[in-house]
Amino acid sequence: MFSVKDLESFISKASTSLEIKFVRSEADIFDDSLAFAPVFTHQVFGENEAIFGYKDLKVKLYHTPDTLSTYIGLKYTSQSDSPKPDNVVKILSEYIPEGFCTNLDEYIRRITVPSSFKPFGELLHVYNQNDATYEVYKTNIECPGFREYHERLQTFLLWFVDASSFIDVDDEKWNFYLIFEKHTQCGSTCYSIVGYTTVYDFYAYPDKVRPRISQMLVLPPFQRKGHGAKLLQTVYDNLTPDPRVLDVTVEDPSDEFTALRDVVDIRNGLGLEALRPPLVHQEFSKDTERVCRERLKLNRKQARRVYEILRLKATDRSNAEEYKAYRLSVKNRMNGPYQREQKDMKRVQDFVDPTELALTHPQVSHEDHMTQLHQDYKALEGEYLNVIEKLASHTR
Ligand SMILES: CC(C)(COP(=O)(O)OP(=O)(O)OC[C@H]1O[C@@H](n2cnc3c(N)ncnc32)[C@H](O)[C@@H]1OP(=O)(O)O)[C@@H](O)C(=O)NCCC(=O)NCCS
C-alpha cells in the first residue's frame, strides 16, 4: 500500500514539466536557455493541470521553426509501477498530429537535413527589426501543404491561449496571416515561424463582409517585440482597401489583445482629422463613426474607444473646464445603459407588483450609483492613460 505522501511525490505540475523549444540545429537541443513554458495546460492535462506517475518529470516538446516537425520526449528519475503512470505521449497525441518523433536520434537526423521550406501564400509585408528580416504572408487552406502545417501550428494555441479551440479549416471563409523570420543558415535562406492570426470573413448585409480576427498568437520567444502590432497592422492594411469590408472585428479579445489593438488603432487614429484637435473636442458624432469605419475599419464600439482615448490625449487636464467636459462626455456614454434601464422601470412600475419588481430589479440609490460610475470612470481613464503613455514609444 502507498501512503498519500508517496503518491503525491509522483505528481508533477504540467506547466513546469513541459519544456517547449524551437530547435534550428542539433546544438539547440542541448541549450536549456531556449526552452519556454506553457501558460495554460488545463485543456490537455485537465483542470488539475497535473501529470501522474513520475518524479522530476520533464516533457520535452521540440519543434523545428520552419516545418514544425515535432519531437516528444520524457525525462524522469523514477516512475510509479502502480497506479500506472499517465501515458503522456498518448495524451499529447490527441492534439499533436501524426508524424511526430519520439526518438531523439531520429529527430536529430531529421533536423540536420537542409530544409527547402518556403512560407505559404502571398507575401504582404516585409520589415526589419534588430538586424533581422520578417515577412508577413496571407494564405488559405487550399495552399498545398498548408493544411498539414496548420494542424501542427494550431497546437501552440493550447498552451498560450486560454479556452482556445481548433477551427474548422474546411470552411473557405478562413484566411491566415503568418509572420516568418527570414534568416540565413549554412548559406541557405531559412524561415522560422514568429506568429499568426486567423481571420473569418463574416457576411454583412447586403453585400459586405465583416472580417473577424479569431485567434492571434505571437510565440513566446518573440512576444513584446512589436510583432503582434506589425501583424495586426498588416491585416488592416490588407483589408482596408477592399470596398466589401465593412469593418474588422475581434472575437472575444483577451486583455493582452485589447492592449495591442488599442495601441495599433490609436496610432492609426492619429491620422484622422476627426480624431485630432480641434475636432476631437467635439462630441462623438455619426460622422466620426463613419470616418472611423471607412478609413480604419473600426466598428462603432472600438471607434468610440479610440475617440475617447485621443480626446483624453488632447485634453489639458489642468484646465478645469476642458477636463470636466471630457469626464462628462465619457460618463454620459457609460451611464447610457443605466438611464435606459431607469426609463424602462418607470414605464412598467405602474403595471407590476412593486415587491416582485424590487426583487427582480433591485435598485441602488442615486448616490451609490454615482459613486460607482465615478470609480468605473477613473479605472477607464487609467487604462486610457496607459495607452497614451505607450503611444509615445511606438512608431510604425
Ligand atoms: C497578445 C499578443 C498577440 C501580443 O503580441 P506581441 O507581439 O507580444 O505584442 P507587441 O510587442 O506588438 O505589443 C505592442 C504593444 O501592445 C501592448 N501589449 C501587447 N501585449 C501586451 C500584454 N501582454 N500586456 C499589456 N500590453 C500589451 C503594449 O502596449 C505593447 O507595447 P510595449 O511592449 O512597448 O509595452 C501576444 O502576446 C500573444 O500571442 N499572447 C498570447 C496569446 C493571446 O493572448 N492572444 C490574443 C487572444 S487570441
pLDDT in tens, 181-199: 999 888 889 999 999 999 9
Residue 96 has pLDDT above 80, yes or no: yes
For residues 340 and 235, the model is more confident at: 235
Angle between helices 255-269 and 366-391 (to 10 degrees): 70
Q: How does strand 78-79 pair with strand 70-75?
A: unpaired
H or E stretch including 61?
A: strand 58-63
Query: What is the pLDDT, as a whole number, of residue 237?
Result: 98
* pLDDT score of 112: 79
pLDDT in tens, 246-298: 999 999 999 999 999 999 999 999 999 999 999 999 999 999 999 999 999 99
pLDDT above 80 for 311: yes
Query: Ligand 1: which atom is nearest the Cα of residue 394?
Result: 34
- Using CA atoms, how far apart are residues 18 and 29, in angstroms rounded to an integer? 14
Show the DSSP H helices in the chain as ranges.
4-8, 14-17, 26-29, 42-45, 88-93, 104-112, 146-153, 155-160, 227-239, 255-269, 286-291, 300-314, 320-348, 354-360, 366-391
169: cell is 479549416
Please give the pLDDT value at position 394: 65
CB 34 within 8 A of CB 23: yes
Pairing of strands 50-52, 70-75: unpaired
CB of 228 shorter than 6 A to ligand 1: yes
Catalytic annotation, pick one of 106, 251, 273, 322: 251
87/390: higher pLDDT: 87
**185 vs 43: CA distance, rounded Å:** 36
Report yes or no: 253 and 214 within 8 Å, Cβ to Cβ.
no
Length of the chain: 396
Q: Is the CB of 108 under 6 A from ligand 1?
A: no
Question: Region 88-105: what's the mean pLDDT?
Answer: 96
Confidence category of residue 340, pLDDT binned at 50, 70, 90: confident
Q: Is the CB of 224 under 6 A from ligand 1?
A: yes
Residue 320 confidence class, pLDDT cut points 50, 70, 90: very high
pLDDT of residue 13: 97
The alpha carbon of 194 and the centre of ligand 1 are apart by a number of angstroms equal to: 13
Name the percent of the chain lying above pLDDT 90.
Answer: 83
User: Are the C-beta atoms of residues 195 and 231 closer than 8 Å to each other?
Assistant: yes
pLDDT value for 5 = 76
Show the cell assigned to 37. 513554458
Alpha carbon nearest to ligand 1 atom 4, residue: 228
Contact 27, 48 (CB under 8 A): no
The rounded Å distance from CA 384 to ligand 1 centre is 16
pLDDT of residue 164: 85
pLDDT at residue 209 in the model: 97
Q: How far is CA 244 from CA 24, 172, 204, 236, 291, in A?
A: 42, 17, 9, 14, 16
pLDDT score recorded for residue 31:
96
What is the per-residue pLDDT across 222-240, written as a single tens digit (0 to 9) for each?
999 999 999 999 999 999 9
Residue 3 predicted with pLDDT over 80: no
Q: 106 an active-site residue?
A: no
The ranges assigned to domains in the chain are 4-112, 122-252, 335-391
Between CA 259 and CA 340 the distance in angstroms is 30
Residue with cell 520552419: 66
Residue 266: all three cell numbers together: 490609436
- List the grid coordinates of 97: 498530429
Q: If you average pLDDT over residues 130-157, what whole number do you get?
A: 96
CA angle 284, 371, 386 (to 5 degrees): 55
Give pLDDT, residue 351: 79
Q: What DSSP string describes 339-382?
A: HHHHHHHHHHTTTS-HHHHHHHSPPPPHHHHHHHHHHHHHHHHH
pLDDT value at residue 278 = 95
The separation between CA 192 and the C-alpha centre of its own chain, rounded to angstroms, equals 20
- DSSP annotation of 245 reads B
For 344-354, write each residue's pLDDT tens digit: 777 777 777 77
- 193 Cβ closer than 6 Å to some ligand 1 atom: no
Q: Is the pLDDT assigned to residue 1 strictly greater than 80?
A: no
Average pLDDT over residues 205-209: 95
Q: Which of 193, 218, 388 to mutate to test the pocket of ligand 1 (most atoms within 8 A of CB)?
A: 218
> In the sheet that 249-250 helps form, which strands lie side by side, from edge to edge?
122-129, 132-139, 174-185, 188-204, 208-218, 249-250
pLDDT tens by residue, 13-72 = 999 999 999 999 999 999 999 999 999 999 999 999 999 999 999 999 999 999 999 999
> Average pLDDT for residues 134-157, to the nearest whole number?
97
The mean of the pLDDT values for the chain is 93
122-252: in CATH 3.40.630.30: yes
Contact predicate 99/72, CB 8 Å: no
- Structure confidence at residue 2 (pLDDT): 67
C-alpha pair distances (Å), 280 with each of 48, 74, 270, 294: 50, 59, 10, 17
DSSP letter at 36 equals B
Does the structure show a pLDDT above 90 at 244?
yes
| C-alpha cell at position 313 | 490625449
Portion of the chain with pLDDT greater than 70, in percent: 98
Residue 396 pLDDT > 70: no
pLDDT band of 395, cuts 50, 70, 90:
low
Domain 4-112 has CATH 3.30.465.10: no
